[in-house]
Each structure stands twice: as C-alpha cells, then as structure tokens.
Structure 1
Amino acid sequence: MKKEKAQTAKVKTYHFLPNKYGRELLLDIGRVEVLNHYVLDPTLHQLSFYEILFIEQGKGIFSLDDHKMTIAPGTIIFTSPGQVRHWDIEEPVKGYTLFFEKEFLHLFFSDHLFLYRFQYFHQYSRPAEMQMPEKAFAQCLKLVHTIEQEFSGLQNDSSHLIRAILYQLLVVLNRYYANTYHLQSDTSVHADFYRFRALLEKEFRAHHDMLSYTKMLNISPGNLRKLCKQYSGLSAQQMIHQKLISEIKKALFYNKSAKEITYEFGFSDPSNFNRFFKKLTGATPQQYKDQL
C-alpha cells in the first residue's frame, strides 16, 4: 500500500499497491508490528480498501469514525473503505493485518453485492469489532497463516488458492460476528436486502426516505421493511438514518459547517438538518463538535 498526501489538514489516505509482488494481486498480508507509518502511526488515516485486523497482543484504543474500541488479545477489527481510523497504543500491538480490494473477490464471484453479504463490512449501526474465544481465534489464525505461507512462494495459481482461503475465513468470521450480535449469518439471504445495502451506500446523500429506495429497487415497501427487520434487526428507515448519521458525524469531524453539510447531504436548509441530527443523536451538531 502507499500513503497519499493528507486529504484534509490531518487525515491521510492509504491506497493499495496492486503490483507489489511483480504481478497484480489485489490482496496482501502483514504483521501489524512491522508496518511502520501505517497502523502504528498515531495520525488520523483512512483506507481505500477493506481490512481485517487480528490482534494477538497489545493494549490501547482503536477509533473507527466516532466509535472507540478496546485493543486486547483475541480482538478482530473490520474496516471498510473510507472509514477514519486512529490508534492510541498503551502497550505494543502485535498481530496480523489482512487487506484487499473488492475486485479481488468481485471478479471471481461475478457478484457486485458479494461483500455486502458479510455483516461486519459497511456496518454503521453495530460494532466493527468482536472478541473471539481463544480456540476460535486460533482457528482463524490458522487460515491467516496459510495465506501468509502462500505469499512466501507465490505461483501463477496462488491468487486462486488465496481467494478460496479468504472466502472460507470471511464466512467463518461472519458466523461468529452474527452469533456475537444476534444477527442473520446466512450469506444466501434474499438478494433484495443486499441490493438495498449496496444502494444505500451510493444514494444516502440524495435520498433519505424508504419509498425512494423501494422505487429504485422496484420492490414493495412492505417487502423491504420485512427484509430489513429480518436480516438486520432494524427497519429500512432506521438503516437509512443510521447511515446518514454515521456520515454526518464524519463530516462534522472534518469540521464542516452546517451549511456545507446541508448542501452535501440534501437537506432543505440548515435548521432542518439541525433538527434531524438532534432528533437522532440527542445533541445539536455544534454540541457534537464541541464534544469532539
């Protein structure tokens, strides 16, 4: 991966290096403790790709957008593209980072909704981390080690083997995540739910109401309500609001004004935006910025 100039005054963006190994390989793996100026750099940063962190040792706080999580052995952290991250390390962190571009899986499975099938990615209403029992964590690390070993002697067909192991790992992690937070774990649930999740990521700034999405998806409001409640535990409108609030908080973190956010997120005027934010969070945008 490479580091880019600061996107704002303080936030850096890291992009994937697809030809690091002399051929295009859209997945990489490394030890957390040796990737200096990436995960151990205390500056604010974000990734343009997906990442899974496996914490074996260490202590501290890892912040993802406005959510803080405790770093401890057995912790697994999931990052989706664009989320703002920050490390506050109290004791040296050791473990693995596994990161990849979406095309590494999309091109093989021919499914642009594939990564939305896993509950932990593009998650804005539940934690982006989980604590695994020692035995289960060790089983996941075995798969990680297998991927690491393949990188030590890459062959022409290595991408296929790595992709197969990654798929197995993603499914295993999804089962544990769903069990931890009492969610639907089956990745073969109704495709309209995944279509809604993917569409929401693209359209949340322009469309704030459920009916707009039912029209774009060409499904009935009743069906969308039922699917969202069944597979996420939230209503469709709650999912829309949770996504909006998550991104608005990020904009406030970047110190954007109410006027700028009103325009960017399609609110009719700043007062309407202020009312929406306070209703959902219990605080005004200015109060939230003061807390930051």
Structure 2
Amino acid sequence: MPTLLLDQPIPLYPLTAPDAPGNRHFQLTRAEGQQPAFRQNMLQPHRKDYYHLVFVQRGGSRHWVDMTPYVLKENALYFSAPGQLQLKEKLAPLWGVSVAFTREFLARQPNEALAQLPLLRNPQNGHELLLTPADVAFVEDTLARLEAEYHRPGEWQQPMLTAHLTVLLTYLSRLYTEQFPGDEPSADQLLLRKYRARIEEHFRERHEVGAYAALLNISAGHLSEVVKAQSGKPAIAHIQERLVLEARRLLFHTPQSVKEIAYDLGFADASYFSRFFKRETGLTPAEYRAGSREMYP
C-alpha cells in the first residue's frame, strides 16, 4: 500500500486548480474509461477540501478511506467528506460520474439545508451506497440533468444546479437512512451532534470538555450529562476517540515520527502522547504502525 515519503506532508487538494476553468465551488465530470492526469496524485495518501460523490457504473479498483479498504462495485455510489484521508491503489479505467462541491457552496442561500442531510452529515461513517435498478435509473437521470446545467452557464445556472443537487442528495439520503438506520434527532441528540462537530473543528488544540462547553455556551456539567446520556460514553471519550482516529490515520498513511504526530495533535510531550495512545488502543504507536503495515501490505 502506498505511503508518503519521509517529511512529505499530506496534501490537501482543492476542488480545482487556480487556473482551471469552470465553477470554483461545484464540479461535475464524467469518466468513460479515460485516465485524467490529475488522478496520478490520488496514488499517495491525501485529503480533499470538498464533498465528493462518485457514481460508479463499472471499472475502478480498490481504494482507501481512512483505514478501510473498498473495492468499487458496479452501479454503486461512493461519498466522502472534506478532510478524510484517502488513496487509490492503482489507476484503473473507470466509467461513471463524479460530483464535487465545497463547504462554501453549501454555505450559500438556499443551500445551507443540504449540509444537514444524512448523507453529508454521515453519522454512521458510511462510504458506499448500493443501488437497485430503480435507484440506478433515478440517479442516472438526475445526474444527466445536473450535467446539462453544468455545461449551460448563465444567470440561472446556480439555482438549477442547486435544485437538481437537492433532489439527488435528498434521494441518496433516503437510501442512506435505509442502509445505515438511525432515528430522528431529539434536542439532546442535536446537542451531541453539535459537540461532535466542534470536536471535528478544534480537536488539535482543544482537549478538554470545558473548552467545548464554552464554545456551545453551556456548562461543562450539562454538556457532560447530555453527551453521556445520548451516546453512552463520557464527553471526554469523544475527544479522545477523535485524537486516536487522527493518530491512526497518520501512523497508517505517513512516515511521520511519533514525536511529529504528537505535536501535530496538540500534545506538548511525545511520551505522554504514546502513553495516551496505548491506553486507548492497547498498542504503542510503533506497534500499531507495524501491525497495520503487516495486515495491509
């Protein structure tokens, strides 16, 4: 499995290069077996700063999202969010359609509601949606409408893109809730969701529950009580789990030293980070790295 070279940072790819044509916050591309040059960059661990949906009609190979491998299936939908660590194992011919859009696109009126759809929130940490023949027909038709608007610039392009994208994401969110079941959130569940969102934004520099309570304008005691009741885990555990996830990503995909990873995650002392990681996983960082490389050569 490819890894980065020593001292090579994990690249963060924007939606388009600065000199690329088209919409800076929304992009649709169709693959018909060709190998675009930019995909060579995907053979090394990387992150994207945008949401990405790929409808795979056929072709493709194994790729990774965080520490999980996926072999692309025909007539399936794959989705990822900004910041997830990804890589492709090889460049195989692919037939399908890719839709990408940024956080800025979702921040525009009237797009904000899209960010709350289950597919984009992804509470179950899914990546793959399996489609029935009826689903495939609907997705193909909606993507065709999106593609037509994407190549028709003008005053009405953005509203039409938003309209068709809303239909697509809403439909896929219904499939998401069927394939990754969950209940409608209560007020306390919404607080838990906000807490997790703040952790995602600040986990590198904020390691204490009280810091997040201040961000949410509530007391640390109330936050701890609600989080424990809703998730079954102490509030501090959510922070620790996020730190461990990022540590695993870096240990798995990069040759960064344990000291470098510790500092990247806001630990002033590498030895304390190592003790923390072993307490949470049962392994030292070095043991985890060696074991994962043996398991997934």
TM bracket, shorter-chain basis:
0.7 to 0.9
Q: Which residue of the partner structure matches residue 76 of structure 1?
A: 77
Where do residues 47-58 of structure 1 align in structure 2 (5 Å cutoff)?
47-58=48-59
In the alignment, the residues of structure 2 paired with residue 225 and residue 73 of structure 1 have an alpha-carbon distance, to the nearest angstrom, of: 45
Q: Which residue of the partner structure matches residue 104 of structure 2?
A: 103
In the alignment, the residues of structure 1 paired with residue 131 and residue 278 of structure 2 have an alpha-carbon distance, to the nearest angstrom, of: 35
Structure 1: unaligned runs, 5 residues or longer = 1-5
1:275 Cα deviation after fit: 2.7
Amino acid corresponding to residue 214 of structure 2 in structure 1: K
> Which one has more relative contact order, counting CA pairs under 8 Å at least 6 apart?
2
1:249 Cα deviation after fit: 1.9
Contact preservation (8 Å) 1:7, 1:13: no
1:193 Cα deviation after fit: 4.3
Deviations 1:123-155 (A, max 9, x none): 597332332333223322322121011123222
Amino acid corresponding to residue 130 of structure 1 in structure 2: L
Change in Cα spacing, 1:172 to 1:99, as seen in structure 2 (3 Å) is same
Contact preservation (8 Å) 1:178, 1:185: no
Moved more, 24-33 or 94-103: 24-33
Q: Which residue of the partner structure matches residue 38 of structure 1?
A: 38
Q: Which residue of the partner structure matches residue 257 of structure 2?
A: 257
Moved more, 128-137 or 178-187: 178-187
Where do residues 209-220 of structure 1 align in structure 2 (5 Å cutoff)?
209-220=208-219
Q: Which residue of the partner structure matches residue 287 of structure 2?
A: 287
1:25 Cα deviation after fit: 4.9
Q: Which residue of the partner structure matches residue 127 of structure 2?
A: 128
Contact preservation (8 Å) 2:59, 2:93: yes
Moved more, 239-248 or 154-163: 239-248
Contact preservation (8 Å) 1:124, 1:246: no
Deviations 1:40-72 (A, max 9, x none): 666214322221111111253111222211210
Deviations 1:84-112 (A, max 9, x none): 3222359632211100121112022485x
Where do residues 17-28 of structure 1 align in structure 2 (5 Å cutoff)?
17=16, 20-21=20-21, 24-28=23-27
Contact preservation (8 Å) 2:15, 2:49: yes
Moved more, 175-184 or 122-131: 122-131
Secondary structure of residue in 2 paired with 1:173: helix
Contact preservation (8 Å) 1:183, 1:233: no
Bigger share in strand: 1
Q: Which residue of the partner structure matches residue 3 of structure 1?
A: none
Secondary structure of residue in 2 paired with 1:250: helix
In the alignment, the residues of structure 2 paired with residue 7 and residue 276 of structure 1 have an alpha-carbon distance, to the nearest angstrom, of: 24
Secondary structure of residue in 1 paired with 2:83: coil
Contact preservation (8 Å) 1:62, 1:88: yes
Amino acid corresponding to residue 243 of structure 1 in structure 2: R
1:121 Cα deviation after fit: 4.2
Deviations 1:247-281 (A, max 9, x none): 11232232222222222223353333223223333
Where do residues 190-209 of structure 1 align in structure 2 (5 Å cutoff)?
192-209=191-208
In the alignment, the residues of structure 1 paired with residue 214 and residue 102 of structure 2 have an alpha-carbon distance, to the nearest angstrom, of: 30
In the alignment, the residues of structure 2 paired with residue 225 and residue 140 of structure 1 have an alpha-carbon distance, to the nearest angstrom, of: 42
Total equivalences in the alignment: 283
Change in Cα spacing, 1:151 to 1:186, as seen in structure 2 (3 Å) is farther
In the alignment, the residues of structure 1 paired with residue 192 and residue 285 of structure 2 have an alpha-carbon distance, to the nearest angstrom, of: 31
